[in-house]
Structure 1
Amino acid sequence: MPELAPHIASVPPSGIRHILELSFALDDVLSLSVGEPDVPVAPHITRAAIEAWERNETDYGPNGGIAPLRAAIVDKLKRDNAVSVDTEQVWVTVGATQALYQAMTLTLAAGDEVLIPDPGYTTFSMNARMLQAVPTYYSLRPENGFLPDLAELHRLVSPRTRVLIVNSPSNPLGTVFPRPVLEQLLEFAREHDLWVLSDEVYEYFTYGEPHVSMASLDTDDRVFSVFSLSKTYALTGARVGYLVTPPGLAPTMRTVQEAAISCVSTPEQHAAVAALIGSQDCVEDARLHYGDNLRQALALLDERGLRYLEPRGAFYLWIDLSHAAGGDVADWAERFLLTDRVAVAPGRAFGRTGEGWIRVSLASDLAQLLEGLRRLPAPPADA
């Protein structure tokens, strides 16, 4: 039989998905490995989708999204992100996943290099390899407050570098980059004439640190911004996100959207309209729920002597299990799942710098979350 394209073999598998798939085959698992909101979808959102189905709104829609949704996104960006765009800069996508891939497709050619945070969301490097681009990893380390090191970025950039990926609030770390850090990253991008891809999926979930959109600081049209309704409104299965482009790309975007997806499901887009223009109480309720889970989880980790990064955003905990992982946290996480029936994401799945750490989702029933944390091995008393 014919062979697959050679570069496909270089696409790394998801270490998170491996744990998740393994957990499906087991009973009585405490699932803390994936970012699946445990809050219900607000009734006005589900009702909008149901009514669209009942009206038989199942025909093809515009490549960029239905007009009411694009208009609602333009209003939301101005209101919540201090970003002023026109409708032709907003493109509705199949979740943030397609938005990320679309932006990287537009900016990376085979052999180009892309600067990716490490630890960072797994899809960043997977997308790069799918496009035959080269991931170059910049470290987010404890000694630097898990923030980018500008000196390291300047060492890593090369004539082949085309894109800088920034993720704030961060998945998996929960760090929120302060405005001065974002300004420094944009200045770095200007100096080296790079595109910036800003992943802002967790924009509404911050704790004591305001979220700043990179596009609000952009003065020369180099920022692509990625957003999603999945986490904000507990709509992970509806698959509605959006990509905000620099101006002037509408003809190109119509072409690439048609080639990739044609359009997003119309009933789900109506749900997204209802989410954006309706009551936001569900978002605030979710933020308070995750914040309460966080406070109680941190108290338990302190009691047990486990080291962690206190998140300022998203809904994850980054916990140091190096005392138990034996230098291979992915192998440890699998054994921990099989023996203790707790699914956690191994930090190594997010990059080399994640070795020894795990990511735990706070978007969970509180009792299940705390029980899962109690089963984590505590460090030796003299550690």
Structure 2
Amino acid sequence: MPQLASHMSSVPESGIRRLFEIALSLDDVNVLAVGEPDQPVAPHIVEAATAAWEAGETRYTPNGGIPDLRRAIVEKLAQDNAMTVDVEQVWVTVGATQALIQAMGLLLDAGDEILVPDPGYTTFSMNARMLQAVPVPYRLSPEDAFAPDLDELETLVSPRTRVLLVNSPSNPLGRVFSAKVLQSLVNFAARHDLWILSDEVYEYFTFTGEHVSPATLDRDGRVFSVFSLSKTYAMTGIRVGYLVTPPGFAAEMRTVQEAMISCVSTPAQRAAVAALTGPREPIDAAARHYEDNGRAAAAHLAGRGMHYLEPEGAFYLWIDLSHATGGDVATWAERFLLEHRVAVAPGSAFGRSGEGWVRVCLAAERERLLDGLAKLPAPGDGQAPAD
């Protein structure tokens, strides 16, 4: 039999997906491991998609997306992100996942290096490996308040480094970087002539301060920005995101879009237009819900003497369980799931620096969230979780 491409063996498995699939095989599991909004899709979004199907809008669209959607994105970027872009810089993708790997495909040759956050979203490294590029982790540590260490970054740059990946608000940390931190990263990239790939999927969920798009701090046209409607509008299964390029890449983008997907589903694009041009109340309600859950969860953990990172954005809580996990949080999380029917994401799934930590999704019913947290072992409880 023919063999798979040799680089496939270097693509890491998703530790989150593995745990989630185990959870799906069990009964009555409290799933707090997956970043899935618990809010409903707003009725006007559903109606727009339904109307498109009923009107027979099932043909190809332009590679970059339907004109109404691209214009709506341009207006949204100007209003909410302080980004002034042309329609030809906006490319509608199958969620942020396609936007990320598409941008990497534009920027990385086989053997090139991309600096990725550690802890960081699992597909950052998976995508790079799929392209035969090399993900180089830069540590986000408690000692630095989970912010990038510029001195460490300097030591990681090599002649093959091409891209710096930035994620704020952060998955899995819930950390939001200030304009000052982001400007230092933009300056770092300029010093070393690197591209910046900015993941801004959780842009609307910030609890302290404001979200800043790195592209607004860039003067050289080196930032590729990735956005998604999945988390903002609870449209995870509808699969609409978009990539915003610097000026001058329209020809290349038409080619890669045609080769990769041709175009996004037309009814999904109509739903996206309705989302972007519709009322803001669903976004605001979701943001309040996640922030309130974060406060309640943090108060619960603090009351039990547990260590965690105060959530600043996204909808995650990063919890230190190193006192209970025995140096192997992945194995611990699987055992915890089987014994207590609560699924939490092991921190090691997000990189070596996540060992001993777990990520909990705050997008859940308050009672289920607090019930799951109550079963986590606090310092002094020993290895067994408290029921």
TM-score, with length taken from structure 1: 0.99
1:233-258, Cα deviation, whole Å (9 max, x unpaired) = 00000000000001100000000000
1:124-273 pair list within 5 angstroms: 124-273=124-273
Distance 1:315 1:220 in 2: 32
Deviations 1:177-236 (A, max 9, x none): 100111000000000000000000000000022100011111010000000000000000
State the distance in 2 between where 1:239 and 1:38 align.
16
Offset at 1:323?
Answer: 0.7
* SS of corresponding position for 1:166: strand
Q: Secondary structure at the residue paired with 2:203? A: coil
Aligned to 2:43: 43
Alignment partners' CA distance in 2, 1:274 and 1:265: 15
SS at match of 1:27: coil
Who is 1:103 aligned against? 103
SS at match of 2:35: coil
Q: Distance in 1 between matches of 2:196 and 2:287?
A: 28
Q: Deviations over 1:244-280 (max 9, x none)?
A: 0011000000000000000000001000000000101
Task: Measure, in 2, the Cα distance between the counterparts of 1:157 and 1:310.
Answer: 31
**Letter paired with 1:338:** L
Q: Distance in 2 between matches of 1:208 and 1:185?
A: 20
Cα drift, residue 355 of structure 1: 0.1
Between the aligned partners of 1:95 and 1:223, the Cα distance in structure 2 is 19
Q: Report the residue type matching 1:294 in the other structure.
A: G
Separation (CA, whole Å) in 2 of partners of 1:306 and 1:238? 37
Distance 1:252 1:156 in 2: 30
Separation in structure 2 between the aligned mates of residue 101 and residue 381 of structure 1, nearest angstrom: 43
- AA paired with 1:129? R
AA of the residue aligned to 1:323? H
- For 1:265, the aligned partner's letter is S
Say which SS state the counterpart of residue 44 (structure 1) adopts.
Answer: helix
What does the per-residue CA deviation read over 1:61-95, in whole Å, with 9 as the maximum and x for residues that have no partner?
A: 11000000000000000000000000000000000
Separation in structure 2 between the aligned mates of residue 2 and residue 291 of structure 1, nearest angstrom: 51
Report the counterpart of residue 120 of structure 1 in structure 2. Answer: 120
2:385 aligns to what? Answer: none
- Give the C-alpha shift of residue 304 in structure 1: 1.2
2:372 equivalent in structure 1:
372
Structure 1 match to 2:26: 26
For the residue of structure 1 that corresponds to 2:116, the secondary structure is: strand
Give the letter aligned to residue 55 of structure 1.
A
Q: How does 1:9-88 map to 2 (within 5 A)?
A: 9-88=9-88
Q: Which residue of 2 aligns with 1:356?
A: 356
Corresponding letter in the other structure for 2:193: D
Letter in 2 for 1:128: A
**Structure 1 Cα separation of the partners of residues 198 and 55 of structure 2:** 36
Kindly provide the amino acid, as one letter, of the partner of residue 293 in structure 2.
N
Taking the aligned partners of 2:208 and 2:132, their CA distance within structure 1 comes to 39
Find the residue that maps to 1:235 and give its secondary structure.
Answer: coil
Alpha-carbon distance in structure 2 between the residues aligned to 1:289 and 1:102 = 33
Aligned to 1:315: 315
TM-superposed CA distance for 1:170, in Å, is: 0.2
Provide the rounded CA distance (Å) in 1 between the counterparts of 2:75 and 2:217. 18
CA positional deviation for 1:40: 0.7
SS of residue paired to 1:21: helix
Shift of 1:287: 0.3
Q: Which amino acid aligns with 1:29?
A: V
- Give the deviation of 1:381 after TM superposition: 7.0
Paired position in structure 2 for 1:289: 289
Provide the rounded CA distance (Å) in 2 between the counterparts of 1:4 and 1:298: 46
C-alpha separation in 2, matches of 1:287 and 1:374 = 24
Q: Aligned partner of 1:364: which letter? A: A
Alpha-carbon distance, 1:154 to partner: 0.3
Residue type of the alignment partner of 2:42: A
Q: Distance in 1 between matches of 2:208 and 2:35?
A: 21
- Name the CA distance, whole Å, in 1 between partners of 2:170 and 2:143: 17
- Structure 2: tracts of 5 or more residues without a match: 383-387
* CA distance in 2 between partners of 1:350 and 1:169 (Å): 15
Separation in structure 1 between the aligned mates of residue 154 and residue 115 of structure 2, nearest angstrom: 11
Counterpart-to-counterpart distance in 1, 2:15 and 2:209: 30
CA deviation vs aligned residue, 1:15-64 (integer Å, no higher than 9, x gap): 00001000000001000000100011111111000000000000011100
CA distance in 2, matches of 1:168, 1:270: 28
Letter in 2 for 1:358: V
SS at match of 2:360: strand
- 1: CA distance, partners of 2:209 / 2:21: 34
User: What is the alpha-carbon distance in structure 1 between the residues aligned to residue 307 and residue 121 of structure 2?
Assistant: 22
Distance 2:120 2:35 in 1: 14
SS at match of 1:308: strand
**Aligned partner of 2:338: which letter?**
L
TM-score by length of 2: 0.98
> What secondary structure does 1:36 align onto?
coil
SS across alignment from 2:231: coil
